[in-house]
Amino acid sequence: MNKGLLVVVCGPSGVGKGTICKEIIEGNENVYLSISATTRNPRKGEVEGIHYYYKTEQQFERMIQNDELIEWAKYCDNYYGTPKVAIDNMLENGKDVILEIDVQGALQVKQNFPNCIMIFILPPSLLELKNRIVGRGTESSEVIQSRLLAAENELNHINEFEYIIVNDQLQSAVSYLVSIITAEKCKLKRSTIIIERMCGDDIPSDW
Ligand code: 5GP
């Protein structure tokens, strides 16, 4: 069995990457969406262990010290990180793993897992991005400002990514992401096991 793909999905807050990723895993047992740890407070409707693992600063810092995270970053005054548990297992068992993380984390993953697929989601425009963040009504105006600043910084790193998807229409963004994953799976370099088996086979006598 070939190992699963590690797919990094990045993009500014409010761009809709969470919604795209949720669509992808819906009914697809072969794709696992990593659940991050964070010190930010749960939003209304968010559930421990489904949206995030909610931690205190102290608990999060202990996770860093114990080397329990693949990557971590401080984003708008809160810690966010990807727990190692589950990811290795999923990849070894041929499942694709999606990390929906910020740019700082994405760059750490790229460094440590050079075979990962780096995808950046763009909004149709910056104005639309601002409208989406303000419109969801989950953040104070101070937090919105700091997320917009973070977005500017994230856009400056766009050249670190291999693929860009503009999220102007959810279903088309989802199908672009599915297509990228499918194309990556067909890459010769990712199909070593099947190639070894084929090329190692003896030609049948009735060939
Ligand atoms: P939110 O607070 O809106 O859920 O997430 C804020 C930002 O943190 C988003 O850009 C999101 O992708 C990012 N994020 C979520 N989980 C992680 C993680 O595990 N690591 C990193 N580096 N960023 C994360």
Neighbours of 170 (CB within 10 A): 12
- Lowest-confidence range among 121-125, 141-145, 198-202? 198-202
**What is the structure's pLDDT at 189?**
83
Taking CA atoms only, the protein residue closest to ligand 1 atom 10 is 102
Residue 36: the pLDDT is 97
- 3-class state of residue 60 by DSSP: helix
Query: Contact, 33 vs 22, CB < 8 A?
Result: yes
Other beta carbons within 10 Å of 76: 17
**Pocket around ligand 1: residues whose beta carbon is below 6 Å from it?**
13, 36, 40, 71, 73, 75, 80-82, 100-102, 104-105
Question: 20 with 110: CB under 8 angstroms?
Answer: no
Kindly indicate the confidence band of residue 196, based on its pLDDT and cuts at 50, 70 and 90.
Answer: confident
The DSSP H or E segment spanning 10 is strand 6-10
Which atom belonging to ligand 1 lies closest to the Cα atom of 17?
A: 12
Q: pLDDT: is 137 or 21 the higher one?
A: 21
pTM of the model: 0.93
CA of 55 to the centre of ligand 1 (A): 14
73 Cα nearest atom in ligand 1: 22
Residue nearest to ligand 1 atom 12, measured at CA: 101
Q: Tens digits of per-residue pLDDT, 14-54?
A: 999 999 999 999 978 999 999 999 999 999 999 999 999 99
Q: Are 15 and 167 in contact (CB under 8 A)?
A: yes
What pLDDT score was predicted for residue 20? Answer: 97
Output the CA 207–ligand 1 centroid distance in Å: 55
Q: What confidence score (pLDDT) does residue 139 get?
A: 86
Own/partner long-range contacts of 152-155 (Cβ < 8 Å, ≥24 apart): 153/103, 154/10, 154/11, 154/12, 154/102, 154/103, 155/12
> What pLDDT is stored for residue 95 in this prediction?
95
Rounded Cα distance, 49 and 64, in Å? 19
At a CB cut-off of 8 Å and minimum separation 6, what does 69 contact?
Answer: 37, 63, 81, 82, 83, 84
Which two tokens mark 133? 């963040």
Q: Three-state SS for 191? A: coil
